[in-house]
Structure 1
Amino acid sequence: MLRAIARGEIVVRRSARRKKTIAVSKEVDTFVLSAPIRYSVESNIRALTDLFNRLAARDHSSAADLVELAAELSQRYFSGRLRPASIRWVTNQNLSRWASTTTSTGDIRISHRLQAVPRWVLETVIVHELAHLQIGPHTKEFHALADRHPRQAEAKLFLDGFSAGERFSRGA
């Protein structure tokens, strides 16, 4: 694990405000360990290794996973006909945007914030963006296409709550 830290795959962020707890998250291709200033990574290497291994086991956030998932969802909901030219994680989406599609190029960008959500939520966002490859604006026809994922309404509620939690934690 220390080699992974040296390679930049794991970033340790120390905070004077954090007193006792640690947290692990994923930002694009980097794991982030948020820890109190006095927390010793070296002394806790075994527990941290277990923590990072558990996070990696449930991770669906690699670029290859995203491409594979888009292909799977295109096949499942659109008979394979809606395929993006590219799909990738980005860090520049604002708090009210989960993803975007450029219909003229077929490029889809997914907010890195979605790396923390359950797979079924990510699936609904990708299906929504795939639907934009056929219909750009949010018309009745568009929603009929995007709503092919059976948990679309449930995911909207999840993302509304997730977004509210993000705003709350940022003090907005």
Structure 2
Amino acid sequence: MRDRGSAPATLPLITQRAFAWLKFLSVPDNFALHRRALQVAKPITREFEQTSQASGNPLTTWFEFYNIPTVYRARHGAGQIRITASEGLICAPELVLRAVVQATTTRQHQQTDLLRTFAASEDCSEILAALESFTVALETNPRGAYHNLDQVFARVNAAYFDGKVAKPRLAWNKTPTYRRLGHYQPATNTITLSLTLDSAAVPSWVIDLVMYHEMLHQVMGAHVVNGQRYSHTPAFRTAEKRFREYAQAKRILDGLIPNLSLGLESR
């Protein structure tokens, strides 16, 4: 696509979503999570079908995951219902997927709080950020107006990793963001930081924390346990808090960015 002179960020939004979804699933670990989530959802939908049949109103139920802008959507037709859940829910436990089916098939929304809480979780946010990273416009020049990502990486690498972390691709997100400040994309070995951080109001040690967080993702990776993906494990949190100015930097980020989702514990 880029070879033809067209960047994903210039495509119509619906096409961007499809492109990002296919790129995301081309990563074997992501495809494995997607497949596992479908396996978890299958008996839930089968159970609903049996209940609907027993009630004399049988419904064939289809369940899928896709890159949609909402947590879920449902399309009702003659004798059937198609449920589409956000791809961000592929790391969700059975309880959350059951809540999606209940909300769409019974049209009762007692589980709304549960779904909202999980949609705002760090693991869900990581998946959504990974999807977005395939189409977002990046500024590949690491030198910003106030901060140079090459210098930030070198500083953090020397201070916390003995200079042993191989340098990934470093980029600014061209569009300032007010929810997520950084992301590590293993598929392209890229650390992206939000342009929001390239400000005179952001001290160097604050942006260092964001870089440190993403470098931990680069070094530690994600862990899959019983088919579920975990990025922010207890070991990750312990390592994260070794950052010398962690508490002070986090307070500044909390004040600077409402509804922060760095992967830091701030929701």
Q: Which has the larger radius of gyration?
A: 2
Distance in 2 between residues matched to 1:161 and 1:101, nearest whole Å: 23
Find runs of 4+ consecutive structure 1 residues off by over 3 angstroms.
Answer: none
Report the aligned-residue RMSD: 2.5
TM-score, normalising length: structure 1: 0.55
Secondary structure at 2:252's aligned position in 1?
Answer: helix
Aligned mate of 2:236, from 138, 142, 152: 142
* Structure 1 pair 139–93 and aligned structure 2 pair: CA distance change class (3 A): farther
Indicate the residue corresponding to 2:250 in structure 1: 156
Match of 1:114 in 2: 197
TM-score normalized with structure 2 length? 0.36
Distance 1:121 1:160 in 2: 11
Structure 1 gaps, min length 5: 1-27, 29-58, 167-172
Q: Residue 82 of structure 1 contacts residue 131 of structure 1 at CA under 8 Å; is this kept in 2?
A: no
Distance in 1 between the 2:162 and 2:250 partners?
24
What is the number of equivalent residue pairs in this alignment?
107
| Aligned amino acid, residue 100 of structure 1 | H
AA in 1 matched with 2:254: D
Deviates more, 1:92-101 or 1:118-127: 92-101
Instruction: Give how far 1:133 is off.
Output: 0.6
User: Residues of 2 paired with 1:126 and 1:77: CA distance?
Assistant: 11
- Paired residue for 1:126? 211
Deviation digits for residues 31-74 of structure 1, max 9, x if unmatched? xxxxxxxxxxxxxxxxxxxxxxxxxxxx533xxx2112202211
Q: SS where residue 87 of structure 1 aligns? A: strand
Matched, 1:60 2:146: yes
Q: % of aligned pairs identical?
A: 28
Kept in 2: contact 1:87–1:107 (CA 8 A): yes
